A and B are shown apart, each in its own frame.
Chain A
Amino acid sequence: MPPSENEKVILQHGCAEAEALLKLIAGCLGVDLALLKESVELSCIKRAGFVDVYAHTRNLGNEAELLLQVVGKERLVAMGVHIGRINGRYIPMLGFLSLLRRIGIKPKRGYVRLTEGGVKHFLYGRDVWGESISEVARPTENCRGLVAVLNEKGEPVGWGRLQENHDHILVQNLVDLGWYLRSGV
């Protein structure tokens, strides 16, 4: 749905919500927050009820702010890569994984590694469990089971939620790279 011309959109460069999202997710994965912050700047696009967080190169924030004063903020589609959304909860997007890959950072915790078959299954949008999971590195408590889902080479292919019950482990599919094909745009 295209946003209406009257919808109130706020573009904020270097906003506190974005910092909080980056800090939380970096903590869940045990990755170096300082390195992430050095590599990109963050901006928020705020609309009624939610905030979208974008990571982008330096100077792009100023560029967008200047441009949007003329064409109107509702005309902004994206700036850099969409890394997360905040709607009361902190939701990491596929773009967060692209950020890790572009900088060359691998999670130290908060991940599961899947077998080749497990990855295929997961990329169809399905949950995975049992022998499809070859390694589990649990996230910290406050992450509510959020894990980066990795392929055999250690490349992230999506986000999942780890659910453990006695000796049974299930990774619920939150979002996977197959979405790029399924989204229909």
Chain B
Amino acid sequence: MYKPRTDEGVNASLQENFAYIMERWKSAVGRLQEVARTLSVHEHQLVRYAELFRSTEELARFLLVDERNIMKTIRVNTLLTGKDELKLRLSSKGVKVEDYRYLDYGLVVTSSPYPIGALHEYLLGLFTIQGPASMLVVPALRPEDFPRGRIIDMCAGAGIKTTQIAQHAPRSRIVAVDVNRRKLLALKNNAGRMAVFNVVTVHTDARLLPSFYRGKADAVLLDAPCSGEGLLPFPRARRPRTFKDILSRVALQLELLKAGLDLLRDGGVLVYATCSLSVEENEYVITSVLEAADNVEIEDLSIPGLPGVQRYGLLQLDPRVSRCRRLYPHIHGTEGFTICRLAKTRR
């Protein structure tokens, strides 16, 4: 069973690591301070990412990715239409699209005379707007392996991924949960628009779910609340994040992940994903859980991305985290994302 680390334990090891990283990179990142200021990037972020890339040149390339370099993608709603049919409809309106190389029901919009979200095809639920990396999270879960199973979406938000789960498993029972009621109303609308009939949507804290669903879920999606640092190329999502901001996210992520694993039956799977490239919020969170649980394994993923990071400052990260996948704006042309698939082994 999972034995949670104490908050102090989390803070102490991460803080010690951060002090080391700061010491190591502070002067090297000096020449990037000006760029960082214009991009609303905090010095703490500069040093953390310098340590991640182990190179200030790559850090600069990462910081300078423009949002125009990120693919603009839409997800075809295969419950209502096919990709070729949608392509024809869009092209008759002058919207140019190409196949998305990482997902067969994704499309890249290369030009459009209209805002994509105002097209009638959008209102008719034939597609939804979804980032190119975000679209790979549900395929990592492989909901189709549980066609009639119980799938819990712990942080469902507006349900972009919930409706995608339904495309993979339209007869499953999806339980979608979030603490933000307004976002769940958007989920309700999205499910209506996209004709998704297999979701029950409940306003609650996902950390409470094990009191009822312990060991009862076949699959769990934990699209965790995070720093959002993977969205750095988008000016609207930029804001400076101190190391303390990251710490507060990590504490919540650990609690949510612990709850998520408690929900799984033996043999069940959980995908942990964040739109963040921070090692603290990803490999560190996963390592902490693996340390405390002897019946959880990380599984290989057949989605694109670089392997999870095993070396980051002084942190001792579990070598199995290399099975996670990281998508980078300056390498993959996607928003930044980290995706890990965990399985509860049979006893």
A and B associate in one complex: yes
Which A residues have a C-beta under 8 Å from some C-beta of B? Answer: 2, 40, 55-57, 59-60, 63-64, 67-68, 70-71, 75-82, 93-95, 98-99, 101-102, 119, 123, 151, 155, 157, 177-178, 180-181, 183, 185
Q: A56-B197, A63-B175 are in contact. Are A77 and B120 (CB under 8 A)?
A: no
Contact for B187 among A68, A75, A77, A183, CB less than 8 A: A77
Is the Cβ of A67 less than 8 Å from the Cβ of B175?
A: yes
Interface centre among B117, B195, B208 (most CB of A within 10 A): B195
Q: A67-B212, A102-B80, A119-B120 are in contact. Are A81 and B192 (CB under 8 A)?
A: yes
Q: Is B292's CB within 8 Å of the partner chain A?
A: no
A-B contact count (CB 8 A): 116
* CB-defined contacts of B203 to chain A, threshold 8 Å: 2, 75-77
Q: Is B211's CB within 8 Å of the partner chain A?
A: yes
B interface size (C-beta, 8 A): 39
Bound-complex Cα distance A63 to B199 (A): 10
Which B residues have a C-beta under 8 Å from some C-beta of A? Answer: 79-80, 117-118, 120, 123-125, 148, 150, 170-171, 173, 175, 181-182, 184-189, 191-204, 208, 211-212
> What's the minimum C-beta distance from B93 to chain A, rounded to whole angstroms?
11
Is the Cβ of A77 less than 8 Å from the Cβ of B80?
A: no
Bound-complex Cα distance A151 to B126 (A): 15
Is the Cβ of B189 less than 8 Å from the Cβ of A40?
A: no
Contact for B199 among A40, A59, A80, A157, CB less than 8 A: A80
Interface centre among A81, A123, A151 (most CB of B within 10 A): A81
* CB-defined contacts of A40 to chain B, threshold 8 Å: 197
* CB-defined contacts of B117 to chain A, threshold 8 Å: 181
Q: A78-B191, A79-B201, A80-B197 are in contact. Are A71 and B208 (CB under 8 A)?
A: yes
Is the Cβ of A185 less than 8 Å from the Cβ of B202?
A: no
Is the Cβ of B181 less than 8 Å from the Cβ of A80?
A: no
Is the Cβ of A57 less than 8 Å from the Cβ of B191?
A: no
Q: A67-B212, A119-B120 are in contact. List 15 more A-B contacts (CB 8 A).
A: A56-B200, A59-B148, A75-B204, A80-B198, A81-B195, A94-B192, A94-B193, A98-B125, A99-B197, A123-B120, A177-B124, A178-B123, A181-B117, A181-B123, A183-B189
